[in-house]
Structures are given as structure tokens and as C-alpha cells.
Chain A
Amino acid sequence: MIKYIIRRILWFIPVLLAIITATFLLAHSIPGGPFDFAGEKQLPESVRQNLMRKYRLDKPVYVQLGLWIWDVLRFDFGPSYYSRGQTVNDILRRTFPISAQLGVLSLILALLIGIPMGTIAAVKQNTLVDYSATFIAILGVSIPNMVLGPLLIWVFSVHLGWFPAARWGVDYTQLYLGIFPPMTHKFWAHAFLPMVTLGTAYSASIARLTRASLLQVIREDYMRTAMAKGLHGFRVIVVHGLRNSLIPVATVLGPMFAGIVTGSLIVERIFGIPGMGRYFVDSITNRDYPVIMGVTLVYSVLLVAGNLLVDLSYAWLDPRIRYD
């Protein structure tokens, strides 16, 4: 098992290198440079060339890539070209915890709603409960973030006034260990609507998957055996059934990490949350190469690590699966 984990982590290196190289080349081949304009004014050619030299942009692309990787190995993501006086490290330190809180909270919400909903639907198959759950799930899968977000703001902030419509409840200086938010009323009030917006689609697809796979597991012999032993129905479903039916759910959690990234780009924009996603699109428009690369690297590491976690969770969910 440990050997397997080490092998997988070593495999990260070529994958991340390939992602970085492809992103770097693609980002640098976009026509236009970061110092073509200062505001609306075009910079004089000599000034532009000096700036390019200062930020090593006059060197060949592969040299720049090598130097960038060397810096990253020392945890130095470089300066931001666009936000003067800030390094990419500063930006990431400020924005990453917020995006991470949003992502993790919505994932937890998705699991907390999705798995029980799917279980109940499967247990009560072909009843009104099942049909309503299935219908709600298909509705939840279909409503896009960019529609649900404004709708929730309209109903809960504008009309009912229950939640604030924008911004995030904590500042990065108030976080414990730089990532954990204080559980204040203000934090939850700000987090609730974005969390629901991002989590709904995932909870719906988790519910559908849980239902489908639990329906197959329920027909297995060991379920009947457990029943015959006289175990309590609830216990049979949760301990014997649910655990075996969660493998498809674990499988989609990997791509879901990626989906949370997409969603957070939209949700952060709609709710005015100062997270990483907002910087990403702007950095591409501004040709702010270090920010593009920094954010891409963080996302890719999360994605690759998420896939590893999913693979490891198979072994926990189904002890027959072994990695040697």
C-alpha cells in the first residue's frame, strides 16, 4: 500500500511537468504581452523592453520555463505583473483559503444531502418519495450555477433579506493556521448561499448515483443473509449496503474536484467572493503569466491529489481491492 502511494506520488512529477509545460507554452503563445499598455496608454518601446528584461521575458521560452520551475521548487511563484507590489505568493495566501473553504463546504454539503437522499430513494423504490427525490435530483443537476446563484440572491437576499448578497465573511488575517475560518455567525451568513449554489448540482448527481448503485447492491445475496441473521433493517442498509454502493460515488468525486473549480469561477464572480477563481480569468486577459501559472499549478496539484485520494478510498470502501 505504501509502495503504491509512493509510486503514485512519483507519477505526479511527469504529469505536473506536462501540465505546466503545456500551460506555459499556451499562455506565452497568446499574442500580446503584459506590458503593452499602462492603463489605456501604450508604453514607449524602450520602457517596454526594459520591463521585459527585468522580468526575464526577453529570454527564450524554455529558459523562462526552467527558471520558473526552479523558483517554484523554492516556493517562490514570482511577482504579479499586473497587481503591482504583490507577489503571487501573497495573492495565493490571501485567496486560496477562501476558495478552499467554499469548495470544501460545498462538497461536504453535497455529500450530506446527496447520500441520504439517494439512500432513501433506493429503499423506498417506486414510491412517491422515490419519484419526488428523483425529480428533485434531475432538477438539481440541470440548474446551472449561474442561474441558481442570482435566483438565490433574488429570493433570499433581495426579497427575504435573510442573507447578505455578496462578499465573504472572514478576512485572511482572521484565519487559524492560515486556512481554517472562525465559526462566526458572519462567516456562515456569507458562506451559506454560495455553498448551496455550488453544492446543489453535486448533491443531486451524488443522490442519483447512490440510488442507482444501492438498488443493485440491495439485490445481492449478502444483503439477504444479513436480513436473515435478523439484523436491523437500518443497520443492513447503512453498514452492508451503503458502503458497498459508494464506489461509483467515489469515482465521480475525482472529476467533481475539477467541477468545483469551474463552479467556483462562476460562484465567486456572482457573489463577489475574493477567491482564486476571480484572479485566474483576469490574469489571462492581462497576460499576467506568473499568476496564470501559480493558479494553474495549485489547481493541478489539487486535481491530481484528488484522483489519488479517490483511488485510495476504493481500497477502504471495498477491502477486496488491493494495491500492491
Chain B
Amino acid sequence: MFRGKKPKKARSRGPFRDAFHQLLKHRAAVVAGLYILLMIIFALFADTSIISLPFGKEVRPLIALQHYAKTSFRNRDLPPGTPGYPLGTDYLGRDIWSRTVYGTRVSLSVAFVAATVSLLIGLTYGVISGFARPAIDNIMMRFVDFLYGFPLLIFIILLQAYFKAVSRAGATGFMGLLTQLDRAMGGLFFVFLALGMLNWIGMARLARGQTLSVKQKEYIEAARALGASNLRIVFRHILPNIIGPCIVAETLAIPGYILTEAFLSFIGLGVTPPTPSWGLMISDTYQAIRVYPWECLIPGAALTLTTLAFNFLGDGLRDALDPRLRGT
């Protein structure tokens, strides 16, 4: 139990303990980073013929042995370990290993695109709001506060339903172009759009707060005295000073994006089948968990490991970029 002198002790750990601590903290981030790197490689080279193995007469890609949509009605519901199907097959006889590997493409692209879009919009909005006159700042932040009270998820669901229906009804003009793009991306484009349009709010708040605190610093005043333009102050002095916390916050938000995509696919409003999203794979198979547990648990494990990796990476990044927060 805490006895008053602990606070000092927290700073001065023994070297062995400290090493153990660092190992647990940062090894986790390192392992997480390696795992994400491996996923990126899987996603990039899933179907490439550069890395391939001869399989009898045909040559198959090494990473994803089968195409994700290749069904085989004779080989339905095979358990893991069946020759040719390392992780078994699902209810349509599709190779679960290959589908899980292709699923990294969906999750990773959602992670990176949604994070980039939300960072760009949020940073721009937040910096403008923090840098502008108080009157403008007030209006912009009122708008953000207003959106903050909105049930965003309901809007994401409705937006997705709208996009899907428009795409099915066949649209023309600009919307038609978007639906074609969406079809080419297996239904991912609209997921990006819905996620990006609604997830910049937290980032805007953070960026504004950071800008406000940096704006008061002496070096900004010095730059102004030297005759620097507003644009130069923003890009040379403010942005480099606030980008660190923003990137950390964005990394920690990535699991949320991945889970939202999985959620949308789970309720049937995400990617278009047969694009293999982990959420879709789980929703297709969870009802058969009594009989074929692997069909649902394997994509589930992939999803969990990925969110876990991004969480560890985010924590590690935060520690690395802000030593004051170390250990909290």
C-alpha cells in the first residue's frame, strides 16, 4: 500500500527493474511494429507471382495460396491443417488463410487512409481555428462542439446505406464516377469517405488546443518581429511544434478506424462481398461457431492482433515522443 514516499521511488528504479520495464514497454512496441511491417508485406505481395511456389503443375503465390473468391463446393468447412488449406476452408470452400491474408489489405488501407484524411482535415481546421481571430475561432469551435454531440455512428450507417443504394440504383455524373471507383475498390471507397468525413473532429480540437498554446510562445513573437508572414509562421514554426502529439493521437485512433470498418462490414454495410474483410468473414460464420469454430475465430484473431499491435505501437510512440508521459 502507498505510504507517502513512493512518488520518489517511482523515478529511481533499480537497473534490473528498469531494464525489465523498458523491455516490456518498448519491446512490445517493437514487436508490434514488426508485426505491422509483416502485415504490410503480406498486403502488398499477397497475390504477386514474384514470390511463388510450384504446386503440382500450376504455380501459386506463396503468401496467399488461393484467390480470395475461389469457391470449391467439394472442399467446404475443412478444418485447419488440411493439405493445401493450412487454416481450413469456410462454408463456400474458400481458403481461410488466403482470405485472412487478403483481409490485411482492407484493414491496413482503412487504417492509413482514414488516419491520413482525418489528420489532414483535422489539422487544417484546428490550426486555422487556433490561429485565427477569436471571433472566427469561436464560430469554428461551436460548430465542432455541435458535431461532437451528434450520434456519429448513426450517420456513418446512414451514409453507407445511402452510398450503397445509390451505387445499386446506378448513378450518373460525378456520383456515377464515385460509384465506379467504389466498385473497383471492392466497396472500400465509400468506407473511406464515411470514416474520413466524420472522424476529424477530435483531431481538430487537439490541433486547435496545441496551436493556441504554441501561439503564445516567444519564438513566434520573435518571428513576427522579424517580419515573417502568417503562412511562414504556420508552416515553419507552429506545425513542426504541434505535429508530434497529433501523430500520436492519430496512431492511437487507428484501432478505432479498423474496428469501425469491421463493424460496418459485420452489419453488411461495409465492403462488397466477396472482398474479404475480417468483419465480413466473422459475420458470415459466427452462427456456425458450434460446428466450425475456426471459420470465425481465425479472422477474429487477426483482427484482435492488429488492433493490439496498433495500440502497442501508439503507446510506444507516445512514450518516445513525450518523455513526460512515460509510465502513465
CB-defined contacts of A266 to chain B, threshold 8 Å? 263, 266-267
B62-77, CB under 8 A of A: which get 1 and which 0?
0000000000000000
Cross-interface CB contact of B289 among A150, A228, A269, A304, cutoff 8 Å: A150
Question: Size range of the interface on B?
Answer: 35 or more
Whether A154 and B293, one on each chain, are in contact in the complex, defined by CB atoms closer than 8 angstroms, is yes
CB-defined contacts of B296 to chain A, threshold 8 Å? 150
B1-16, CB under 8 A of A: which get 1 and which 0?
1111011001001000
CA distance A228 to B7 in the complex (A): 15
CA distance A146 to B290 in the complex (A): 16
Whether A125 and B6, one on each chain, are in contact in the complex, defined by CB atoms closer than 8 angstroms, is yes
Measured CB to CB, the nearest residue on chain A to B164 is A30
Whether B2 and A237, one on each chain, are in contact in the complex, defined by CB atoms closer than 8 angstroms, is yes
Cross-interface CB contact of A150 among B7, B153, B168, B286, cutoff 8 Å: B286
Evaluate whether A269 and B308 lie within 8 angstroms (CB atoms) in the complex, with A23-B158, A125-B327, A233-B1 already known.
Answer: no
Say whether A105 faces chain B, with CB atoms less than 8 Å apart: no
Whether A153 and B289, one on each chain, are in contact in the complex, defined by CB atoms closer than 8 angstroms, is yes
Evaluate whether A32 and B169 lie within 8 angstroms (CB atoms) in the complex, with A142-B304, A144-B304, A227-B4 already known.
Answer: yes
Say whether A303 faces chain B, with CB atoms less than 8 Å apart: yes
Mark out the residues of chain B between 151 and 172 whose CB falls within 8 Å of any chain A CB in the assembled complex: 151-155, 157-159, 161-162, 165-166, 168-169
Of the stretches A90-98, A106-114, A210-218, the one at the interface is A210-218
Whether B282 and A142, one on each chain, are in contact in the complex, defined by CB atoms closer than 8 angstroms, is no
Say whether B150 faces chain A, with CB atoms less than 8 Å apart: yes
Say whether A256 faces chain B, with CB atoms less than 8 Å apart: no
Say whether A206 faces chain B, with CB atoms less than 8 Å apart: no
Count how many pairs of residues, one from A and one from B, have CB atoms less than 8 Å apart in the complex: 154
Evaluate whether A147 and B303 lie within 8 angstroms (CB atoms) in the complex, with A218-B2, A300-B151 already known.
Answer: yes
Say whether A312 faces chain B, with CB atoms less than 8 Å apart: no
Measured CB to CB, the nearest residue on chain A to B17 is A126
Say whether B315 faces chain A, with CB atoms less than 8 Å apart: yes
A1-24, CB under 8 A of B: which get 1 and which 0?
000000000000001001100110
Cross-interface CB contact of B169 among A26, A31, A135, A280, cutoff 8 Å: A31
- A201–chain B nearest beta-carbon distance, Å: 9
Whether A143 and B161, one on each chain, are in contact in the complex, defined by CB atoms closer than 8 angstroms, is no
Chain A interface secondary structure, helix, strand, loop or mixed?
helix
Say whether A246 faces chain B, with CB atoms less than 8 Å apart: no
Say whether A64 faces chain B, with CB atoms less than 8 Å apart: no
Measured CB to CB, the nearest residue on chain B to A285 is B161
Mark out the residues of chain A between 82 and 102 whose CB falls within 8 Å of any chain B CB in the assembled complex: none
CB-defined contacts of B146 to chain A, threshold 8 Å? 15, 18
Whether A154 and B1, one on each chain, are in contact in the complex, defined by CB atoms closer than 8 angstroms, is no
Whether A216 and B328, one on each chain, are in contact in the complex, defined by CB atoms closer than 8 angstroms, is yes
Say whether A321 faces chain B, with CB atoms less than 8 Å apart: no
Say whether B307 faces chain A, with CB atoms less than 8 Å apart: yes
CA distance A270 to B149 in the complex (A): 28
CB-defined contacts of A280 to chain B, threshold 8 Å? 154, 157
Whether B297 and A151, one on each chain, are in contact in the complex, defined by CB atoms closer than 8 angstroms, is yes
Mark out the residues of chain B between 107 and 157 whose CB falls within 8 Å of any chain A CB in the assembled complex: 146, 149-155, 157
Say whether A265 faces chain B, with CB atoms less than 8 Å apart: yes
Evaluate whether A144 and B286 lie within 8 angstroms (CB atoms) in the complex, with A126-B17, A224-B4, A261-B151 already known.
Answer: no
Mark out the residues of chain B between 57 and 101 whose CB falls within 8 Å of any chain A CB in the assembled complex: none
Cross-interface CB contact of B158 among A15, A26, A141, A265, cutoff 8 Å: A26
Cross-interface CB contact of A142 among B7, B168, B307, cutoff 8 Å: B307
CB-defined contacts of B301 to chain A, threshold 8 Å? 147
CB-defined contacts of A158 to chain B, threshold 8 Å? 289-290, 293
Measured CB to CB, the nearest residue on chain B to A299 is B151
Cross-interface CB contact of A147 among B3, B4, B150, B300, cutoff 8 Å: B300
Whether B4 and A26, one on each chain, are in contact in the complex, defined by CB atoms closer than 8 angstroms, is no
CB-defined contacts of A265 to chain B, threshold 8 Å? 263, 267
- A99–chain B nearest beta-carbon distance, Å: 14
Whether A126 and B290, one on each chain, are in contact in the complex, defined by CB atoms closer than 8 angstroms, is no
CA distance A139 to B305 in the complex (A): 9
Say whether A219 faces chain B, with CB atoms less than 8 Å apart: yes
Measured CB to CB, the nearest residue on chain A to B279 is A146
Evaluate whether A233 and B151 lie within 8 angstroms (CB atoms) in the complex, with A144-B259, A146-B266, A146-B282 already known.
Answer: no
- A208–chain B nearest beta-carbon distance, Å: 9
CA distance A262 to B10 in the complex (A): 39
CA distance A126 to B326 in the complex (A): 12
Cross-interface CB contact of A138 among B153, B308, B328, cutoff 8 Å: B308
Cross-interface CB contact of A126 among B13, B155, B267, cutoff 8 Å: B13
CA distance A298 to B166 in the complex (A): 27
Whether A212 and B307, one on each chain, are in contact in the complex, defined by CB atoms closer than 8 angstroms, is no
Evaluate whether A147 and B304 lie within 8 angstroms (CB atoms) in the complex, with A18-B146, A158-B289, A285-B161 already known.
Answer: yes
- B8–chain A nearest beta-carbon distance, Å: 10
Q: What is A's interface to B at a CB cutoff of 8 Å?
A: 15, 18-19, 22-23, 26-27, 29-32, 123, 125-126, 131, 135, 138-139, 141-144, 146-147, 149-151, 153-154, 158, 211-212, 215-216, 218-219, 223-224, 227-228, 233-234, 236-237, 258, 261-262, 265-266, 269-270, 280-281, 284-285, 292, 296, 299-300, 303-304, 307
**Which 3 A-B residue pairs are closest in the complex by CB-CB distance?**
A147-B300, A227-B4, A142-B308
Please, could you name 12 A-B residue pairs with CB atoms under 8 Å apart, sorted by A?
Answer: A22-B150, A31-B168, A126-B21, A131-B21, A139-B308, A142-B255, A146-B283, A146-B286, A150-B282, A150-B297, A233-B3, A261-B151
